[in-house]
Amino acid sequence: MKNIKTLGDLKAAKYRVKSVKQEMRDNLIQKLHDKEKLFPGIIGFDSTVIPALCNAMLSYHDFILLGLRGQAKTRIIRSLPTLLDEFIPIIKGSEINDNPFSPVSKYCADLVAEHGEDVEIEWLHRDERFGEKLATPDVTISDLIGDIDPIKAASQRLHYAHEGVIHFGIIPRSNRGIFAINELPDLQPRIQVGLFNIMQEKDIQIRGFPIRIPLDVVIVYTANPEDYTNRGSIITPLKDRIGSQIITHYPRTIEEGMAITRQESKAERDSGRTVIIPEFFREIIEQVAFEARKSEFVDHKSGVSVRMTVTSMENLISNAERRAIIHDEKEIVPRICDLYAMLPSITGKVELVYEGEQEGELNVSRALIGKAIKTLFAKLFSDPLVGAKKGDKTFEEIVGWFKDNKSIDTADDMSKKDYFSELAQVSGLRKLAADKMKISAGENEAILGAAMEFVLDGLHQNSMLSKDILDSKISYSDMFNSMFSSLKPGEDFFDEET
């Protein structure tokens, strides 16, 4: 078909023009029949969002994706052109992708009237049939729909009442394609009113021109829930004209979150070193996000974007990479003490309620990391406190080692050898970490060391060991010795109120 260059040849080939929604419906049906992946790279929506999207397109609907930040809304709408035909014919030189058989702009209508079947056509690729606009308060009707162009009127010596002086906005220029508006509530209400005719009658009227230009365009929107977006809201008449409202969501399982972070994070590095990320680190990072989404200190209306876990993973790896470069080590393996390098990724992406602000964003973020470690520890080990009451001696040897003022100090700038040697002092720690976390005898010492530190941190989160953090250095010690050492001379641990 791409060899066809004129309107006459296109007619001879019996080419049939379809509406955009019909194109999308037909191609969707074919992909469903062939069991083809509809939205590559979208994880966790297979049984929720994607079926709703399919229903909307099968129903010829315009639709809106409604959800909190970081829920793949923009990625989904940018994937929609894959459901269009690869190429469609337009009249050559058309500003609004005129259908050769039924041009709607004056320029193309005059061209067909003058040259008939000799009018030249060109083929438009589907990637060029997608328009997108971020809604901001300064967006105008002229930006979206169009306006009179005085420069065009002057240069072509046209009267302002002449249709040729129209400058088309971004929506008419997306004719015969898909147009997306991100963050719809940020669009001023009077501008939203300007979308009514496009949504319902599929036409536009510019300024005082008596003519209406019919458009063939699919309109999709994204928005945060209105109760969070205080800057504005979607006016009710516009809502009424949107065929389907599709609710997005965050990953519903740790495994889905891990898969997204694995896909999106820049884990591979070009410093000539091998990146090794033990699986329990991936789970801790995802668990931080899950803990944040249910924390009493975090604003649930704001949400916790998956971008937090992606950037947290990247910062974790970068901290380990920096250490490997300093010590000229060939492998990049994170440690528990590296988790605090994630703080810049957490504090910048978590909005706190009043109680959280009183606690402080750093304290809240550290607490989220601690809760994530405790949750994973509970999955891998028995509860230390409950077990001790029942006579379980799993952790007795490790906790007992810390008696008599013994302590373990780790830091993110220690060499692999020094790090492992420090942790290996604790009686029973190496064996317990290797057995419970399924680390083989010949495993990399850096991985085993990270597992050993995880056990110590898990015991701290369960109030079996004390932990002090100073910058990037962590010290583990006996819980009760630490309590008594913090008392001033002459003070009693059990005061009258106790």
User: SS3 of 381, please?
Assistant: coil
In terms of domains, do 37 and 142 share one? yes
Q: What is the per-residue pLDDT across 227-239, written as a single tens digit (0 to 9) for each?
A: 544 557 889 999 9
Residues 90 and 121 sit within 8 Å (Cβ to Cβ): yes
| 431/439 Cα distance (integer angstroms) | 10
Give the model's pLDDT for residue 34: 96
Q: What is the CATH number of the domain that holds 156?
A: 3.40.50.300
SS3 track for 137-206: CCCCHHHHCEEECHHHHHHCCCCCCCHHHEEECHHHHCCCEEEEEECHHHCCHHHHHCCHHHHHCCEECC
> Where is pLDDT greater, at 146 or 456?
456
In terms of domains, do 136 and 23 share one? yes
CA distance between the termini of the chain: 87
In terms of domains, do 374 and 448 share one? no
In terms of domains, do 219 and 263 share one? no
Give the count of domains, the chain. 3
User: SS3 of 219, please?
Assistant: strand
Of the pLDDT bands very low, low, confident and very high (cuts 50, 70, 90), residue 11 is very high
Average pLDDT score over residue span 167-187: 92
| 49/440 Cα distance (integer angstroms) | 41
Q: Is the pLDDT of residue 482 over 70?
A: no
Q: What is the DSSP letter of 45?
A: -
**Minimal CA–CA distance to 398: which of 449, 480, 474, 464?**
464
In terms of domains, do 366 and 395 share one? no
Residue 80 burial by CB count (10 A; 0-12/13-18/19+): exposed, middle or buried? buried
In terms of domains, do 39 and 124 share one? yes
In terms of domains, do 352 and 212 share one? no
Structural domain contains residue 86: yes
In terms of domains, do 158 and 303 share one? no
Structural domain contains residue 2: no
Q: What is the per-residue pLDDT across 371-383, written as a single tens digit (0 to 9) for each?
A: 999 999 999 998 8
Structural domain contains residue 445: yes
For residue 453, how many other CB atoms are within 10 A of its CB? 25
Give the model's pLDDT for residue 494: 45
DSSP line for 483-497 = HHHTSPTT--SS-S-
In terms of domains, do 335 and 446 share one? no
Q: What is the per-residue pLDDT across 304-349, written as a single tens digit (0 to 9) for each?
A: 999 999 999 999 999 999 999 999 999 999 999 999 999 999 998 9
Give the model's pLDDT for residue 41: 92
Residues 108 and 49 sit within 8 Å (Cβ to Cβ): no
Average pLDDT score over residue span 62-71: 94
User: pTM of the entire structure?
Assistant: 0.86
Q: What is the per-residue pLDDT across 144-157, written as a single tens digit (0 to 9) for each?
A: 988 766 666 566 66
Structural domain contains residue 431: yes
In terms of domains, do 361 and 284 share one? yes
Give the model's pLDDT for residue 88: 95
Give the model's pLDDT for residue 441: 61
Structural domain contains residue 474: yes
Q: What does residue 71 show for φ and ψ, rounded to 5 degrees? A: -115, 30
In terms of domains, do 147 and 237 share one? yes
When the pLDDT of each residue in the chain is averaged and rounded to a whole number, the result is: 89
Q: Pick the range with the lowest mean pLDDT from 188-197, 282-291, 474-483.
A: 474-483
Q: What is the CATH number of the domain that holds 334?
A: 1.10.8
Structural domain contains residue 1: no
| 286/280 Cα distance (integer angstroms) | 10
Among residues 380, 401, 429, the one where a domain terminates is 380
Q: What is the per-residue pLDDT across 392-449, written as a single tens digit (0 to 9) for each?
A: 788 999 999 998 889 999 999 999 999 999 999 999 999 999 998 888 766 788 999 9
Structural domain contains residue 152: yes
CA 383 to chain centroid, in Å, comes to 35
**Minimal CA–CA distance to 353: which of 299, 303, 305?**
299
| 449/472 Cα distance (integer angstroms) | 17
| 308/436 Cα distance (integer angstroms) | 29
Among residues 230, 247, 264, the one where a domain terminates is 247
Q: Please name the helix (run of DSSP H) or strand (run of DSSP E) that holds residue 58, with its range, or none.
A: helix 49-58
Structural domain boundaries enclosing 450: 382-498
User: SS3 of 366, please?
Assistant: helix
Average pLDDT score over residue span 114-130: 94
Among residues 185, 216, 247, the one where a domain terminates is 247
Q: Is the pLDDT of residue 211 over 70?
A: no
DSSP line for 425-447 = TSTTHHHHHHHHTT--TTS-HHH
Average pLDDT score over residue span 252-258: 96
In terms of domains, do 325 and 347 share one? yes
